[in-house]
Amino acid sequence: MAGLDIAGYARSRSTVLPESRRGASRMSPYIRHGLLSLREVWDRVEDAAGRDRSRYRDELMWQEYARHLYARVGTDLGQSLTREQPFASGGDVRADDPWPTEMNCMSSVTTELHDDGWLVNQTRMWLASQWAVRAGATWRDGEDEMFAHLLDGSRAANRLGWQWTVGTGSGKVYGFSRWQVEKRAPALCRGCALASACPIQDWPSAELGPSVDGPDLTTADIPAGPAEASGSAAEQVWLTAESLGTSDPALSADESRPAVFVFDEPLLRRLSLSGKRLVFLAETLGELGAIRDLEVRRGVVSEELAGRSLAATYAPVPGWARIARTLEPVEVHPWPWLVRPGRSSVRSFSAWRRGHSDPLPSTA
């Protein structure tokens, strides 16, 4: 956070190469796991230049919108929201190899995904469009593959990003082509063996798919959790992967209270996350354990924590609600929303954004 500088962000956030000119802040892994709240980052850029601050805060609001949408539809975010996936035809179809390594742009970006576990937003869109729109592979499989490697991987933001890009949750398809690569990373085209026979020279042929009867995205209540802490005198704090920072509301409510985190073994077995993600979580827990009394376990969460007197911070994800019903925490703290959900539509970000004014100034 101390090194966060968004000078030039509006101009360079989509730059891919050279890396030294990238404007992306790389704060997303810390935001995703609650090491930093959206509010903390929002306040941090208060003194930035107007256009940079506005553009950056719009991205923070996009993250908040993703959480509102996920809180509303839950696991249905894994289904096409408004339209079926568009499928390319003719020469575009290559579902057996959706990220061809002979394409320098694909080889470079997938290497960065696998090695670093982080990508700028522009290249995330390249991968999603190449996988689903051009190659015709199922978008859910591509989202799973990206999710497994991203340090900031969240079902809310990652699934929303894929649905927006491939057109299953938006009104248009993002057409990945050579034009984007030459604009954002021209060195990739210059060094590509397919430079004179580029398979993405022109726009993809796919158009919007047919409408689907997806989840209700119109105006309705969005689950938000408690507005104030309820209960008291819990003996331990149950930490989740959604909120691992020292400012976690349940953790910060009593600095002397020990905490416990459980690696959810059945969930991890199903997700097959990359080693990078697990190391990131382990290092985060190690740093926390150096300053707080922390117990780390592995197994079935409800079994590992059965019978304990627990305080917890509400999390707007389906898994938290499911496990909390079994554990029955005696003390529940509110989630640190940037904009507390109410009754609204989640059909589109632009409409949602117009309906939500910027957060009130922090009272911290």
> What does the alpha-carbon distance between residue 53 and residue 171 come to, in Å, rounded to a whole number?
27
Model pLDDT, residue 359: 85
CA pair distance 65, 78, nearest whole angstrom: 16
Q: What is the pLDDT of residue 96?
A: 82
Tell me the per-residue pLDDT of 239-249, one tens digit each, with 9 for 90 and over. Answer: 999 999 999 99
Is the separation of the CB atoms in 332 and 227 below 8 Å?
no
| Spatial contact of 291 and 246, defined as CB atoms under 8 Å apart | yes
Tell which CATH architecture fits domain 230-333: 3-Layer(aba) Sandwich (3.40)
Q: CA-CA distance, 25 to 152, in Å (whole number)?
A: 13
pLDDT of residue 311: 98
- 143 CA to centre of own chain: 11
Q: pTM for the complete prediction?
A: 0.95
Among residues 266, 18, 317, the alpha carbon closest in space to that of 153 is found at: 317
Helix (H, G, I), strand (E, B) or coil at 240: strand
Give the residue from 43, 59, 46 showing the smallest Cα distance to 10.
59
Q: What is the pLDDT of residue 326?
A: 97
Joined tokens for residue 214: 């997806």
d(CA 332, CA 310): 9
Whose CA is closest to 270, among 363, 136, 359, 155?
A: 155
Beta carbons of 234 and 329 less than 8 angstroms apart: yes
Longest Cα pair distance anywhere in the chain, in angstroms?
Answer: 69
The Cα–Cα gap between 35 and 248 comes to 8
- Which CATH superfamily, name and number, covers 78-190? DNA Cyclobutane Dipyrimidine Photolyase, subunit A, domain 3 (1.10.579.10)
DSSP element (H, E) containing 298: strand 294-299
pLDDT for 87 equals 74
Tell me the CB-side half-sphere exposure of residue 133, using CA atoms within 13 A: 26
Q: How far apart are CA 128 and CA 151, in angstroms?
A: 17
> What is the DSSP secondary structure assignment for residue 133, as one 8-state letter?
I
Please report, as a single letter, which amino acid is at residue 278: L
Q: What is the dihedral of CA 245, 249, 252, 254, to 10 degrees?
A: -140
List of the chain residues with pLDDT < 70: 88-93, 360-364
Distance between CA atoms of residues 297 and 107, nearest Å: 37
Rounded Cα gap, residues 1 and 251, in angstroms? 20
Euclidean distance between the first and the last CA atom of the chain, given in angstroms as a whole number: 17
Residue 225 identity (one-letter amino acid): G
Distance (Å, whole) CA 252 – CA 248: 6
Residues in the chain: 364
d(CA 61, CA 350): 10
Structure confidence at residue 299 (pLDDT): 98
Q: Domain residue spans in the chain?
A: 78-190, 230-333
Say if residues 259 and 251 touch (Cβ distance below 8 Å): yes
> What's the one-letter identity of residue 51?
R
